[in-house]
């Protein structure tokens, strides 16, 4: 999908802090659930790879419980590679105390190069 295709999807906004920025930030992008639904199959996991080859797996239970987004904008601005863009996974950390852990922080991958949705 192109950036334009992704931005054409319904956008969700999460205002939260992260361990990597000072203060609250407003992130916007489609729900990871929306992207998974595009497969038209029962997706059980998203496998993500960053530009630097860092990888993370996000189970379907995460996007079922939390409004996880693939952010394309931060504070209304397109994210450049130097800003952890062009795509970044963001959890609503401030809304759920359990998300303030290394486990969920490790899934907040940035500079996303690819997403593979795994089905049952």
15-43 pLDDT tens trace = 999 999 889 999 999 999 999 999 889 99
pLDDT of residue 91: 97
Residue reference for tokens 């192109």: 2
For residue 18, which phi and psi values (nearest 5 degrees)?
-130, 165
Can you give the pLDDT at residue 120?
A: 83
Q: How many angstroms separate the CA atoms of 75 and 27, rounded?
A: 6
In the predicted structure, residue 77 carries a pLDDT above the cut 90: yes
Answer for the pair 120, 42: CB distance below 8 angstroms, yes or no: yes
Residue 39: per-residue pLDDT: 84
What's the whole-number average pLDDT of the chain? Answer: 95
Question: If you classify domain 3-119 with CATH, what class do you get?
Answer: alpha beta
Mean pLDDT value of segment 100-117: 96
**Model's pTM, two decimal places?**
0.94
Domain ranges of the chain: 3-119
């Amino acid at each position: 999908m192109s950036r334009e295709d992704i931005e054409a999807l319904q956008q969700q906004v999460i205002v939260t802090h992260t361990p990597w920025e000072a203060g609250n930030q407003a992130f916007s992008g489609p729900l990871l659930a929306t992207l998974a639904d595009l497969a038209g199959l029962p997706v059980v996991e998203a496998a993500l790879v960053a530009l630097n080859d860092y990888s993370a797996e996000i189970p379907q239970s995460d996007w079922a419980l939390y409004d996880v987004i693939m952010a394309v904008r931060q504070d209304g601005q397109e994210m450049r590679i130097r800003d952890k863009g062009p795509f970044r996974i963001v959890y609503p950390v401030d809304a759920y105390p359990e998300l303030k852990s290394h486990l969920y922080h490790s899934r907040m991958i940035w500079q996303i190069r690819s997403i593979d949705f795994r089905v049952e």
